[in-house]
Amino acid sequence: MESDLLDALDQLGYDGPLSHEADVLEECEHGFSSPEYVSLLKWLWVQLAQCSETHTQATHITDPENIALLVSRLLKDLWCPFEGLATRLMNGEVKGARDHLKILLFLSSELQACQMMICKAKRREEELESPLQDLRLICQTLNLPDPSTYDTFREIESQIKSLLQRLPETHIGDPLLKSSLSNAEWRALERINSVLLSEYECRRRLLIKRLDVTVQSFSWSQRAKARVDRMASAYQSKRFSVRPQSTVCLAHLLSSRQDLAHVKKTSSGSSRQNTSCALNKVLMGSVPDRGGRPAEIQAPHPEMPIWKKRSEGGGRGSYRGGWQSHSHRGGEGWRSGRGGRYHR
């Protein structure tokens, strides 16, 4: 629970004194009598008030009992899922560190949810304004006025043609797509692109999960357990900047040149300029044999002997089609063979 709380606070941008696991546990033991704990509560309260107008700020309150009463009301208003926590907090029965951790974890998760809803709303607004915003960026790049009339596209076209005449002939290169497509073909391309985006998103999520598992395995050693906070602070900021969604669209198809179709080996000089490092020059010594060659492995010995047919022909006591019996009393008995039956 402590690690989840610290991860949530780190994502929310909290940089106060309770940034380590030991400090959080120690201050939660004291509860509302701890100034650091109360300060963190007020910080979460202020952030929630900025996201939603329904929450009142409580930064001016210093009495622990009043703060506990206001927090219990806030937990009820937000439908806290921890059963009985708001009631026990109102009655002054919350004393343990685990309950105070639950309060902080719930408020931080609510703040994360509010921020996510705000980001989604902004993203919808940006998607609605995206065509006009792209057109404004084009006009700004070409030193043209803001798009206000229908002649804007003609002005953009004439400006681009005049700029292209000033450039060398081989500066941009030939386009990869030279033929004009119909509306049905463009819709088919959009469907193909959506399928590819879904496929590559699945692959990117798999690679990101592998990265998370690999980094998590580093914290299993005894030396790493004492540096969990440092590892999390160094990794989380870069980890959450990686997005599983791809940003490739049909505009990239229109702007692609013929040199994009040239396949380069990953071991080529131009590719190795960005991927080579000092680690490539390290030679590994002798390593234990890990196997992996089934053709060189001998089959194990069977647990039971292999059943074989009886051999024909001679052999002591072997007669085809007959059977023999010997009596242990005085050597009497009889034997049946190919030539009939006789006694001895």
Q: Is 324 helix (H, G, I), strand (E, B) or coil?
A: strand
pLDDT tens, residue by residue, 254-275: 888 888 877 778 778 777 888 8
Of the chain, the end-to-end C-alpha distance in Å amounts to 93
Average of per-residue pLDDT across 219-237: 81
Q: Which residue has the higher pLDDT, 211 or 146?
A: 211
Compute the mean pLDDT over every residue in the chain, rounded to the nearest whole number: 77
Closest CA to 112 of 44, 55, 17, 21: 44
**Per-residue confidence band for 2, with pLDDT thresholds at 50, 70 and 90:** low
Q: Which residue has the higher pLDDT, 119 or 321?
A: 119
pLDDT tens, residue by residue, 164-210: 888 887 777 888 888 888 999 999 999 999 999 999 999 999 999 99
Tokens of 277: 């490092």
Q: Which range among 28-42, 99-113, 212-226, 319-333 shows the weakest confidence by mean pLDDT?
A: 319-333
Closest CA to 160 of 182, 191, 139, 188: 139
pTM attached to this predicted model: 0.43
Average of per-residue pLDDT across 136-146: 84
Average of per-residue pLDDT across 210-224: 86
Q: Is the pLDDT of residue 338 over 60?
A: no
Cα-Cα-Cα-Cα torsion 159, 160, 166, 169, nearest 10 degrees, comes to -160
- The reported pLDDT for the residue numbered 65 is 67
**Per-residue confidence band for 334, with pLDDT thresholds at 50, 70 and 90:** very low
Q: Which range among 22-36, 96-110, 145-159, 313-327 shows the weakest confidence by mean pLDDT?
A: 313-327
CA distance 3 to 104: 12
Q: Which residue has the higher pLDDT, 231 or 132?
A: 231
Percent of the chain with pLDDT over 70: 80
Q: Is the pLDDT of residue 327 over 80?
A: no
Cα 119 vs. chain centroid, distance in angstroms?
20
Q: Is the pLDDT of residue 215 over 80?
A: yes
Domain range summary for the chain, segments of one domain joined by +: 2-120, 186-255
